[in-house]
Structure 1
Amino acid sequence: MSNSIRTASQKSRYESLLQAVSTTDILAICIVADPDAIASALALKRLFWRKVKKIIICRVNAIKRSDNLAMLRYLHIAIPYIKQIDTTQVTNWAIVDSQPHHHKSLSNIEFSILIDHHPPSPVLTVPFMDIREEYGATSSIMVEYLRAADINPSAKLATALFYGIKTDTDNFARSSIAADIKAFHYLYPHVNRNIIKKIESSEINKKNVADFRKAFDALQFVGDTVYIHMGMVNDSDSLVIIADFFLKMVEATWCMVSGIYGQKVIIIIRNAGFRLDAGKVASRLFGKLGSAGGHKSAARAEIPVSVFISEIGDLSKVSDFMKDKIKKR
């Protein structure tokens, strides 16, 4: 966040945000779709309602998790791929809950607006940029903008934001601050809690039963860490679902799940302990081989297969490599 925005009141932040668009703009809000990003995009769209000519929300990733698909279905949300929209008509771009370096499809877009809670890239140059990495969810930041604009969220928007905060903070088990709780409390009276229940009960489906079977067979303990190597996977989100699930084991303080997706070795890390930071652990263990980072309780690393093979050995060594890294944690 720039110094001027960091020190500004929320009301002046909102006024600065409005200066980033014009009434003739066709605004595209681009996201790496997950519940927090989807909700934040809906909130930004509401903030700019009748303030620009047209607003489009688009995504750069596939949505495959059954709970995320349930969110779209129950809240009647449609978010097309970026390739499905006519980008030649777009005059202004915004991004929420992500940054250009997070996805290759974002890297060539010139954004005017960026609102996020992930650690910032040191090379970001966006005219309006509000990054608050201490927040547990971007949805919490967007609630503050709505309140500064004196906008009461509809049941649909409130439910989306509420669920965005729930998922990104893992019901406040992950890093969060008082502002997240305040936003959550503010939204509560407006939320359709029956829809929340339906979405949350949609995590497991017939397609990922085989993944769970494989995970149970591959499960190993290295100290207080559950480690599972899933081998080749068709969907990297399956690694996230497995990591979240197996952290629930009584004996586990950490869970690390690895898998090979496309041309990358992907490592998902979850931490329920007090002492270490998952993001810092990911950076220390894997940062020299690829991209790695995250929050105190959740992190991710991606190592190009070519780098792994040249530096470590063939892909049959992933499991041994991981167990050695876990011991050095």
Structure 2
Amino acid sequence: MGGTNTYLTAMRQWRQGLCKDHRWCILIVADPDALASALALKRIMQHRVKSVDIVRVNEVTRPDNLAMIRYLRIPVKPLQVEKLSTYDHFAVVDSQPNHHACFKNITFDLVIDHHPLPAEPYTAAAFYDVRPNVGATSSIMTRYLQGLRITPSPLLATALLYGIRTDTASFERSGGEDDFRAYQWLSRHADTAVLRRILRSEYLRDWLPLFSRAFRSLVDCRGNGAQAWLGDVSSADLLVAVADFFTRVHGLRWIAVSGIVGKTTVVVIFRGDGGRDIGRMADACFYDVGSAGGHRRLARAEFPVSAIPAGTKPQDFVLHRLQTRKLRAITAVRSAPPADPTPDTRDHEMAEVSS
């Protein structure tokens, strides 16, 4: 399919072909953009099929995403594999069939996404719309609502608005004309009071001891940066939350928050102000012991605990790499292409490192 008008024509034809007897399942890797896009698709299909369920394949643990689901009344269900046979049609939004193991044996009738195309595009879907040049799938869904002359409810408009905000980092990292126009249109329909409540729901009370641990362990690094070591944590989400907090500290140009997840894997979450390429920094420091990379302002590295030399504390190993390899290694790789994003860089991070 070609331009926007072609997509709209195809959507109208697809919608007209929906059958009242069909039971649809919209599968998502739950993050704000996916949740909002699924809610919009459900609205588009409303009253034209027998049922539409939104089903997530990952756990939702981030408090802002939990607040989004609660305040916007998003009817999302956890995946129960044994119940998939009760559906006769499947859709996936803000993701593609090759993005998650749970999608492997499912034939999708609809795919809508904004992430890069795979080497071999999916050909089984009756409706296929993947546009990597758009900043958020929520922007694509907003254009469909406009083209179908569907006025979103305040809750749906708020969800789509929040989806665009998170995937474009409020237009600091990505976003083009399609995203701006969608955001402006949605702003006229959204509930700004509810949006503020979601934006303020960043932390759980149980997380507060982690911040104390981070403050006590904070060590300055070169270039007005710092490292905080949290030790054993139950989820990388906790590292992300603490790292995001430190981006609000004046004068701190970048932060690396690290810990051990599941007793076996060291995860380092990087955040920066854009003054230096954080994705390149992550790659330079840890490329030889695990996976690392990201964008200019955010990145992630992870490697097995077994990669740390015997007798060396994990926090000392991380700090040593940040202190001694950073500048030298970045100079060496400066001419190389940008590192591929790791799962954390699909803000709110593809599999609930934003959910």
| Normalised TM-score (structure 2) | 0.78
Moved more, 237-246 or 289-298: 289-298
Cα drift, residue 58 of structure 1? 1.0
* Paired position in structure 1 for 2:233: 233
Query: What amino acid maps onto 2:140 in structure 1?
Result: I
**Higher relative contact order (CA closer than 8 Å, sequence separation 6+):** 2
The answer to whether 1:55 aligns with 2:52 is: yes
Query: What amino acid maps onto 1:225 in structure 2?
Result: G
* Paired position in structure 2 for 1:265: 266
Query: What amino acid maps onto 1:265 in structure 2?
Result: V
| 1:48-94 CA-partner distances (Å, limit 9, x unpaired) | 22333321101122212222211122122232210277111122222
The change in CA–CA distance for 1:273 and 1:31 in structure 2 (over 3 A counts) is same
User: Which residue of the other structure, out of 27, 39, 42, is the alignment partner of 2:39?
Assistant: 42
Q: Aligned to 1:190, what secondary structure does the other structure show?
A: coil
* Paired position in structure 2 for 1:69: 66
Moved more, 243-252 or 32-41: 243-252
Q: What is the rounded CA distance, in whole Å, between the counterparts of 2:14 and 2:224 in structure 1?
A: 46
| 1:76-135 CA-partner distances (Å, limit 9, x unpaired) | 223221027711112222222233454443444333332222334324425343333333
* Paired position in structure 1 for 2:343: none
Identity %: 39
Q: Aligned to 2:211, what secondary structure does the other structure show?
A: helix
Q: What is the rounded CA distance, in whole Å, between the counterparts of 1:177 and 1:22 in structure 2?
A: 35
Q: What is the rounded CA distance, in whole Å, between the counterparts of 1:233 and 1:274 in structure 2?
A: 29
Aligned CA RMSD, in angstroms, stands at 3.0
Q: What is the rounded CA distance, in whole Å, between the counterparts of 2:269 and 2:88 in structure 1?
A: 37
The change in CA–CA distance for 1:85 and 1:212 in structure 2 (over 3 A counts) is farther
CA contact 1:226–1:247 (8 Å) conserved in 2: no
The change in CA–CA distance for 1:261 and 1:10 in structure 2 (over 3 A counts) is same
Gaps of at least 5 residues in structure 1 are: none
The change in CA–CA distance for 1:88 and 1:191 in structure 2 (over 3 A counts) is same
CA contact 2:274–2:296 (8 Å) conserved in 1: no
Q: What is the rounded CA distance, in whole Å, between the counterparts of 2:119 and 2:286 in structure 1?
A: 20
CA contact 2:138–2:160 (8 Å) conserved in 1: yes
1:111-126 matched pairs, under 5 angstroms: 111-126=108-123
Say which one has the larger Rg.
2
| 1:285-311 CA-partner distances (Å, limit 9, x unpaired) | 6566655555443333444x2xx625x
Moved more, 102-111 or 202-211: 102-111
Cα drift, residue 178 of structure 1? 2.2
Cα drift, residue 229 of structure 1? 3.0
Cα drift, residue 193 of structure 1? 1.0
CA contact 1:37–1:164 (8 Å) conserved in 2: yes
Cα drift, residue 325 of structure 1? 5.1
The change in CA–CA distance for 1:122 and 1:53 in structure 2 (over 3 A counts) is same
The change in CA–CA distance for 1:188 and 1:58 in structure 2 (over 3 A counts) is same
Q: What is the rounded CA distance, in whole Å, between the counterparts of 1:92 and 1:211 in structure 2?
A: 44
1:157-176 matched pairs, under 5 angstroms: 157-176=156-175
The change in CA–CA distance for 1:224 and 1:129 in structure 2 (over 3 A counts) is farther
Q: Aligned to 2:77, what secondary structure does the other structure show?
A: coil
Q: What is the rounded CA distance, in whole Å, between the counterparts of 1:20 and 1:313 in structure 2?
A: 61
CA contact 1:175–1:296 (8 Å) conserved in 2: no
Gaps of at least 5 residues in structure 2 are: 331-355
The change in CA–CA distance for 1:51 and 1:242 in structure 2 (over 3 A counts) is same
Query: What amino acid maps onto 1:105 in structure 2?
Result: C
Cα drift, residue 238 of structure 1? 1.3
